[in-house]
């Protein structure tokens, strides 16, 4: 047993670890090429000990924070702890060996000090394309082999020697080799920096002292979270919701059930009662994603960085008090070889349902229903040169009303926190032009003492033939209001195919402008999402819920009408990701009034 590190040195080492993780994250996103990493910062980076405990992690995207230990445990099945050498660099993305999902590729380097393996420097980043069945994103695929390259603990470098064959294999199997190359190089530079800085820290303070300090820091963070959990009355708190469908069996809702079991200063999230695993890619890797969502929920609820003054170190301690249970074979813990790539909407809902379940006992920390989904669009095409272009777009949504404030509008909520891409930058580099990007105004945010946030409308237009894949959800289940607040609205997706001639362009302009938020005319050729919306006008003052129902009937009619129609692959207008959101709420004789929020839009492939 090593001597306790004094509190002053502890602060010093804790500060240094935090700074290292931040620098690793910085190097990664600034050096990278693909917009999903450099603009959206869909990445995570940190240092880990020999037992795969997180010692520190960059404050980038919540989805990545807490996923790396799973990768390390997965790699350990291929590379035993004594199989590491200085100068190794491992690449890993296997969804059934700890990865968050296959596009989130991890780069891991061992940290040796005085000849001994002390731990790891590692990061994850979302890659634009890993050679899956369709460019960028996938939904309706048969199994995990359609996800693209699966790399299970492979050494890109072995003792400093580059494995050229593996690099070549990777570049030969992605649609965008130059982006993947630049991004992997950025990941390696970030991991190298982590190795170097960790070694410097060990040299400055001594190995034993640093390791002891990391233990104390983990205990500290754990203690802070447990202290907050203990304030919640013991009990089982349940909330339920449903997802639209799995992307193949349209209209077949998938139930989700979350039970939060609070026992003293620990908590268990039990997902029993949620849907069985589905035959498409709409499943969630348990270790790398289901777990991470639950870790996030408690950290954000109970150690809110806006309301807490102190910086609490981001490390393993924040995961320990939270246990996650999901039956094997369920959507949150699937069995190979079913695909599990499109998992984000589901985990957003887990977080939202945890908040809903606990709202009655911690009303001052909760929110009304959030959009709690994702509108993830992959735009792509082939340039005249024969090279692919692929662009991943994360569309924001909004949050539910809160105890003392309205829900923020048009913002990244819960597990995601990316940045949008400047429209001007896209316009200069891609055959895609944005025609509208505004606050959604066809439905009102959920009303209440504190309203929900307003969603967003985005219209992208292809200038040359292209493909689109879209991952989304929440066209049926509106975000809830709490404590009497009104529900929010669901989202929608509209796809227009516009013939190339000038007359049609003019027509299209009539359809799209003026930007008053309504679309009354226009031909809908096809929506290869799950819904075909005839644009509906939300009447001023109409409740969001009612509007949604009306839309639903129209959608069903349209679906019958257009089933089986294929798009000609000419000019395609994706008109409007319109996501509603916000709802609000109100309840008399209760000190707190929240609002709910919502949104939606579904997704899939279309050509």
Partner 1 sequence: MIRVGVDVGGTFTDIVLERTRAAGEDQQIVVHKVPSTPQDQSEGVVKGVVEICQMAGIAPGEIDMVFHGTTVATNMVIERKGAEVGMITTRGFRDILHMARHKRPHNFSLQFDVPWQSKPLVKRRNRLPVTERIMPPDGRVEVPLDTDEVKAAAELFAKRGLDAVIVAFLFAFLNDEHEQKAKAIVAAAMPDAYVCCSSEIVNVIREYERFSTCAMNAYIGPMTARYMRQLEGRLRQAGVRAVVRIMQSNGGISTVENAIERPVGLLLSGPAGGVIGGRWTGEHAGTQNVITIDIGGTSADISVIQGGELRIKNPRDTEVANLPVLVPMIDIDAIGAGGGSIAYLDPGGAFRVGPRSAGADPGPACYGKGGEEPTVTDAQVVLGRLDPEQFLGGDLAIDPSLSERAIATHIAGPMGLSVTQAALGILRIINNNMALAINNNSVAKGIDPRNFSLMGFGGAGPLHGTALAELISARDVISPLQPGITAAMGLLVTDLQYEYTHSVLLVLNKAGEAEFAALNAAMDELRAQAEAQLEADGIAPGARRFRKVAECRYLGQGFELRAEMPEGPLNKENVEEVIRSFFDAHQQVYGHAFEDQLTEAVTLRLIATAEVDMLRLPDLAKGGRTDPEDAVLYVRDTVFDDGEARPTPRYRRDRLLAGDRVTGPALIVQHNSTTLLPPGYAAEVLGHGDMRVARQG
Mark residues 429-448: x for contact with partner 1 by CB under 8 A, - for none. ----x-xxxxx---------
Binding residues for partner 1 restricted to 152-191, rule: CB under 8 A: 178-179, 182, 185, 189
Binding residues for partner 1 restricted to 467-496, rule: CB under 8 A: none
Is residue 306 a contact point for partner 1 (CB under 8 A)? yes
CB of 370 to partner 1, least distance (A): 9
Contact 460, 601 (CB under 8 A): no
303, HSE (Cβ side, Cα atoms, 13 Å):
22
301-310 contacts, C-beta under 8 A, 24 or more apart: 301/354, 301/355, 301/358, 301/362, 301/365, 301/366, 302/225, 302/228, 302/229, 302/365, 303/224, 303/225, 303/228, 304/365
Binding residues for partner 1 restricted to 367-386, rule: CB under 8 A: 367
CB of 322 to partner 1, least distance (A): 14
Is residue 419 a contact point for partner 1 (CB under 8 A)? yes
Binding residues for partner 1 restricted to 204-243, rule: CB under 8 A: 220, 223-224, 227
Q: Please give the order of strands across the beta sheet that includes 492-497.
A: 432-439, 456-462, 572-578, 492-497
Q: Choose, by CB under 8 A, the member of 99, 243, 366, 490 that binds partner 1.
A: 366
Is residue 59 a contact point for partner 1 (CB under 8 A)? yes
**268-297 exposure pattern, b = at least 16 Cβ within 10 A, e = fewer:** bbbbeebbebbbbbbbbbbbbbbbbbbbbb
CB of 524 to partner 1, least distance (A): 20
Is residue 321 a contact point for partner 1 (CB under 8 A)? no
Strands 266-270 and 322-325 come out as: parallel
Task: Pick the closer one to partner 1 by CB: 135 or 247.
Answer: 135
Prior bond to 371 cis, omega within 30? no
Distance CA 187, CA 193 (A): 10
Task: Pick the closer one to partner 1 by CB: 18 or 605.
Answer: 18
Is residue 307 a contact point for partner 1 (CB under 8 A)? yes
CB of 517 to partner 1, least distance (A): 10
Query: How many degrees, rounded to 5, is the angle at CA 242 between CA 495 and CA 354?
Result: 120
Is residue 300 a contact point for partner 1 (CB under 8 A)? yes
CB of 573 to partner 1, least distance (A): 13
CB of 437 to partner 1, least distance (A): 6
Distance CA 132, CA 71 (A): 21
Contact 242, 254 (CB under 8 A): yes
- Please report where in the chains the tokens 């709910």 appear, as a residue: 596
# residues near partner 1 by CB under 8 A: 87
Q: Choose, by CB under 8 A, the member of 264, 427, 539, 563 that binds partner 1.
A: 427
CB of 59 to partner 1, least distance (A): 6
Nearest Cα to Cα of residue 348 among 491, 467, 459, 224: 491
Task: Pick the closer one to partner 1 by CB: 159 or 433.
Answer: 433
CB of 514 to partner 1, least distance (A): 7
Which residues in 102-196 belong to E strands, given as ranges? 104-113, 116-126, 154-158, 161-162
Q: Choose, by CB under 8 A, the member of 213, 456, 547, 595 that binds partner 1.
A: 456
Mark residues 544-583: x for contact with partner 1 by CB under 8 A, - for none. ----------------------------------------
Is residue 348 a contact point for partner 1 (CB under 8 A)? no
- Angle separating helix axes 207-230 and 177-205, nearest 10 degrees: 110
Q: What is the DSSP code (8-state) at residue 288?
A: I
CB of 258 to partner 1, least distance (A): 16
Is residue 27 a contact point for partner 1 (CB under 8 A)? yes
Chain centre distance of CA 481: 23
Radius of gyration, CA atoms only, the chain: 24
Stretch that binds partner 1, among 22-30, 113-121, 134-142, 275-283 (CB under 8 A): 22-30
Q: Choose, by CB under 8 A, the member of 174, 290, 380, 420 that binds partner 1.
A: 420
Mark residues 387-406: x for contact with partner 1 by CB under 8 A, - for none. ---------x--x--xxxx-
Task: Pick the closer one to partner 1 by CB: 419 or 554.
Answer: 419
CB of 554 to partner 1, least distance (A): 25
Task: Pick the closer one to partner 1 by CB: 31 or 117.
Answer: 31
Distance CA 419, CA 570 (A): 30
Mark residues 505-524: x for contact with partner 1 by CB under 8 A, - for none. ----x--xxxx---------
Is residue 424 a contact point for partner 1 (CB under 8 A)? yes
Is residue 418 a contact point for partner 1 (CB under 8 A)? yes
Distance CA 185, CA 197 (A): 18
Task: Pick the closer one to partner 1 by CB: 251 or 513.
Answer: 513
Is residue 62 a contact point for partner 1 (CB under 8 A)? yes
Stretch that binds partner 1, among 5-13, 75-83, 131-139, 542-550 (CB under 8 A): 5-13
Q: Choose, by CB under 8 A, the member of 76, 230, 382, 411 that binds partner 1.
A: 411
Distance CA 223, CA 349 (A): 27
Is residue 36 a contact point for partner 1 (CB under 8 A)? no
Is residue 501 a contact point for partner 1 (CB under 8 A)? no
Is residue 596 a contact point for partner 1 (CB under 8 A)? no
Contact 97, 74 (CB under 8 A): yes
Q: Determine how many CB atoms are found less than 10 A away from the CB of residue 512.
A: 18
Q: Choose, by CB under 8 A, the member of 21, 38, 316, 572 that binds partner 1.
A: 38
Mark residues 63-102: x for contact with partner 1 by CB under 8 A, - for none. --x-------------------------------------
CB of 123 to partner 1, least distance (A): 14
CB of 276 to partner 1, least distance (A): 31
List residues bridging with 290 in a β-sheet.
Answer: none
CB of 435 to partner 1, least distance (A): 6
Nearest Cα to Cα of residue 354 among 268, 282, 285: 268
Cα 210 to Cα 7, 48, 119, 146, 507, distances in angstroms: 13, 13, 12, 44, 67
- Please report where in the chains the tokens 């105004």 appear, as a residue: 441
Distance CA 138, CA 400 (A): 29
List residues bridging with 459 in a β-sheet.
Answer: 436, 575
Question: In which element (H, E) is residue 166 found?
Answer: helix 164-172
């Amino acid at each position: 047993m090593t001597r306790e590190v004094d509190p002053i040195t502890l602060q010093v080492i804790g500060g240094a670890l935090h700074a290292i993780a931040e620098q690793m994250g910085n190097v990664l996103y600034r050096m990278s090429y693909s917009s999903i990493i450099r603009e959206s910062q869909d990445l995570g980076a940190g240092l880990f000990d020999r037992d795969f405990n997180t010692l520190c992690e960059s404050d980038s995207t919540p989805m990545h924070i807490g996923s790396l230990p799973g990768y390390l445990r997965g790699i350990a099945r291929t590379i035993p702890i004594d199989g590491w050498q200085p100068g190794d660099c491992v690449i890993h993305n296997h969804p059934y060996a700890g990865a968050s999902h296959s596009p989130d590729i991890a780069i891991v380097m061992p940290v040796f000090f005085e000849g001994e393996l002390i731990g790891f420097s590692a990061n994850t980043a979302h890659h634009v394309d890993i050679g899956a069945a369709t460019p960028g994103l996938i939904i309706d695929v048969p199994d995990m082999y359609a996800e693209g390259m699966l790399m299970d603990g492979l050494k890109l470098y072995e003792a400093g020697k580059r494995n050229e064959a593996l690099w070549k294999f990777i570049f030969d199997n992605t649609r965008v080799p130059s982006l993947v190359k630049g991004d992997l190089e950025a990941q390696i530079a970030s991991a190298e920096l982590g190795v170097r800085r960790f070694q410097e820290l060990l040299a400055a303070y001594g190995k034993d002292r640093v390791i002891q300090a990391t233990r104390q820091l983990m205990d500290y963070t754990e203690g802070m979270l447990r202290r907050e959990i203990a304030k919640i009355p013991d009990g089982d708190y349940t909330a339920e919701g449903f997802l639209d469908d799995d992307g193949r069996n349209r209209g077949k809702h998938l139930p989700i059930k979350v039970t939060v079991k609070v026992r003293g200063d620990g908590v268990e999230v039990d997902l029993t009662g949620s849907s069985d695993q589905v035959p498409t890619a709409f499943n969630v890797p348990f270790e790398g994603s289901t777990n991470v969502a639950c870790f996030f929920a408690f950290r954000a609820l109970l150690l809110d960085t806006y309301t807490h003054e102190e910086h609490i170190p981001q490390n393993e301690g924040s995961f320990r008090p939270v246990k996650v249970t999901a039956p094997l074979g369920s959507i949150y813990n699937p069995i190979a070889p079913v695909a599990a790539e499109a998992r984000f909407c589901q985990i957003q809902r887990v977080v939202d349902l945890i908040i809903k379940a606990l709202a009655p006992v911690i009303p001052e920390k909760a929110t009304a229903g959030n959009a709690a989904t994702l509108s993830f669009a992959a735009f792509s095409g082939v340039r005249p040169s024969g090279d692919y272009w692929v662009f991943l777009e994360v569309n924001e949504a909004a949050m539910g009303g809160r105890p003392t404030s309205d829900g923020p509008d048009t913002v990244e909520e819960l597990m995601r926190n990316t940045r949008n891409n400047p429209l001007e930058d896209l316009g200069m580099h891609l055959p895609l032009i944005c025609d509208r990007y505004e606050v959604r105004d066809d439905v009102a945010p959920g009303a209440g003492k504190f309203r929900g946030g307003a969603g967003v409308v985005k219209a992208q237009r292809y200038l040359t033939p292209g493909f689109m894949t879209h991952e989304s959800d929440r066209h049926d289940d509106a975000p809830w209001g709490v404590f009497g607040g009104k529900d929010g609205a669901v989202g929608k997706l509209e796809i227009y195919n516009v013939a190339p001639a000038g007359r049609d362009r003019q027509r299209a302009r009539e359809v799209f402008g003026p930007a008053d938020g309504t679309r009354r005319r226009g031909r809908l050729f096809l929506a290869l999402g799950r819904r075909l919306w005839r644009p509906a006008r939300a009447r001023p003052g109409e409740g969001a819920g009612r509007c949604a129902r009306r839309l639903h009937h129209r959608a069903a009619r349209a679906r019958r009408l257009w089933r089986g129609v294929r798009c000609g692959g000419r000019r395609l207008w994706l008109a409007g990701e319109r996501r509603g959101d916000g709802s609000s709420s109100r309840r008399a004789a209760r000190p707190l009034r929240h609002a709910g929020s919502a949104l939606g839009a579904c997704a899939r492939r279309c050509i």
